[in-house]
Structure formats: structure tokens, C-alpha cells
Amino acid sequence: MKPSVLLVECPDRPGLVHGISGVLFRRGVNVVGNHEFVDRPSQRFFMRTEFDGTVDTTELMTELRSVVPEGATLRLSHLEPKRVVVLASKEHHCVADILVRHAFKQLNAHIQAVVSNHDALESFVEKFDLPFHCIPHGELSREVHEAEILTAVLRYKPDYIVLAKYMRVLSPGFVHRFPARILNIHHSFLPAFVGARPYHQAYERGVKVIGASAHFVTEQLDAGPIIVQQVIPVDHTHGAADLAQAGQDVEQLALARAMRLVFEDRVFLCENRTVIFD
């Protein structure tokens, strides 16, 4: 049986760990893991506790409220699989990695569907018995196309949207509907090479290491909180196309790792940074 997870975020003050652990102790649950962090600049306290045993959620929350400051964010998760819609374009490697992990139950998620602006991945996705929605932009305006994508996504009431090499920029209006609920994989070591064609930019700059950054999407392009970054060394023999090829493995690994962390409720936001308890 999966453990439950208590997530606490509030202004720091003395005695928080003692107080919160006391509530759980008196409720008789068995704590199997515990992480705390205080962010000095913001004086915010973050805590994630895994425990076995059943509790009355309402009573637990009431008791916890009495030991944390006003305005604390408290959340109790039972690690239910998250509902996820994947957005993709033509590239297969991140989508394929997600579908394989999903097929073998390695993601704490139910993938609902893949939505794409191209049909390139249709037959591949269908191997996995998942709905594939192809919404080509064709003659559509940017706004109308995005609205159709949004309609397709909303139908599934997703907890999270995962951009698995989806190559269109989402509008602030779209992003705004899913705060800290859209994950993207950017094919560079952010904040280097923001925007289009990062591997071409990397080639021109002559870098000796390339990377991939999994991050939450915010209204500002490629500027959201970073969850995972992974890198690999390259050299002068790599042209821009070779860099793109070499980058695929770290892209799918960084995205897979970010999904695991988010779907297991291990990621807090702290300003534009992430606090991750792994």
C-alpha cells in the first residue's frame, strides 16, 4: 500500500518540526520519511512527510492548523496517480519514453491522451492504446489553433500537461490556466539558449557541454522554475544536427525524472526556484 504524504509550506518559526511531528505521532501513524528545508532569503519553511496508516483527514488538518502559522499551505496526498495529457510535435523520443514508462507503470500517472500539431506520432501512440488528437495548424490563426488544443486538453481534466518536445509557444492565457501544472523539456541548459533552435545556438557558441532542462512553464518563455537539468559532454566533431541527436537521451531522462518528482509530490515552488525532496 502506498504511504500518505503531508506537505507543509509556511513562514518559518521555531518549533514547527516538533509541532507537526507531534500531531502525526499522536494520530498514531508511522512516519517513514521526513524532509524539511528553510529557505533563508524568504524565511519560508517547507516540509514533506511520508507516513503509513490511516487518518481522518479533517481531524488531522484541524490539528495541524493549530501548530502552524496562519496562512500555511497544508496538503495531504495519497499519491494517487496524476491525470496527464501529453503535448507533442514531430519528435518521438520523449513521447516514446513516457509511453513505455506508463505501459510498465513506472510513472505515478494515468496518461489520458497525446495531443499533437502533427500526425507523425499517430501510429506509434496508437500501439499503446491511447487516444491521439492531431490538430494541425494549417490555415488556423495562432489563437484559434491554441483554442482547439485547449479544448482537446480540457476534455481530459488533466492534473498536469507535459510538453514532450511540443514545438509551439503557449500563450500567457493558456499557461495562466494551469499554474505550476505544465511541465516542459527545453533542449538546452537554461538559461543558455532560450527560445528557438537551441542546438544551433549551442553549435555557433562552440560549447563543450550540452544539456536539457525540465521546468514548469510560466508566462515568460523558458523562464519558469527549473526542476531537473542534465548534461553531456560534446566536442568539435558535433555539428548542430549531431548536438540535437546527442541531446535526445538527456532530454528524455530529464523529463522522466521531473515527471517522477512532480507526480510523487516532491516539488515545492519557492519564488522562481524549486525545492525538491527526493
Q: Which residues contact a copy of itself (rule: CB under 8 A)?
A: 14-15, 17-18, 21-22, 24-25, 28, 30-34, 36-41, 92-93, 96-97, 100, 103-104, 124, 127-128, 189-193, 204-209, 211, 213, 225-231, 233, 235-237, 239, 249, 253, 256, 270, 272-276
| Least distance between a copy of itself and beta carbon 209 (Å) | 5
| Least distance between a copy of itself and beta carbon 150 (Å) | 28
Residue closer to a copy of itself (CB basis): 156 or 193: 193
Residue closer to a copy of itself (CB basis): 83 or 101: 101
CA angle in degrees (0–180, nearest 5) for 230-178-86: 55
CB 47 within 8 A of CB 28: no
Single-letter amino acid, residue 115: V
Evaluate the omega torsion of the peptide bond into residue 191 and state whether it is cis, within 30 degrees of 0: yes
Please, what's the largest Cα pairwise distance for the chain? 63
CB 79 within 8 A of CB 53: no
**How do the residues of the chain divide into helix, strand and coil, expressed in percent and rounded to 5?**
30, 30, 40
Q: How many helices (H) and strands (E) does the chain have?
A: 8, 13
Burial class (CB in 10 A: 0-12, 13-18, 19+), 17: middle
- Cα 153 to Cα 85: distance, rounded to the nearest angstrom: 7
CA proximity to 18, closest of 72, 61, 68: 68
Residue closer to a copy of itself (CB basis): 52 or 143: 52
| Least distance between a copy of itself and beta carbon 192 (Å) | 4
Which member of 56, 97, 119, 222 is catalytic?
A: 222
| Least distance between a copy of itself and beta carbon 151 (Å) | 29
| Least distance between a copy of itself and beta carbon 60 (Å) | 15
Residue closer to a copy of itself (CB basis): 173 or 179: 179
The answer to whether residue 159 is catalytic is: no
Residue closer to a copy of itself (CB basis): 138 or 206: 206
Q: Which positions are catalytic?
A: 222
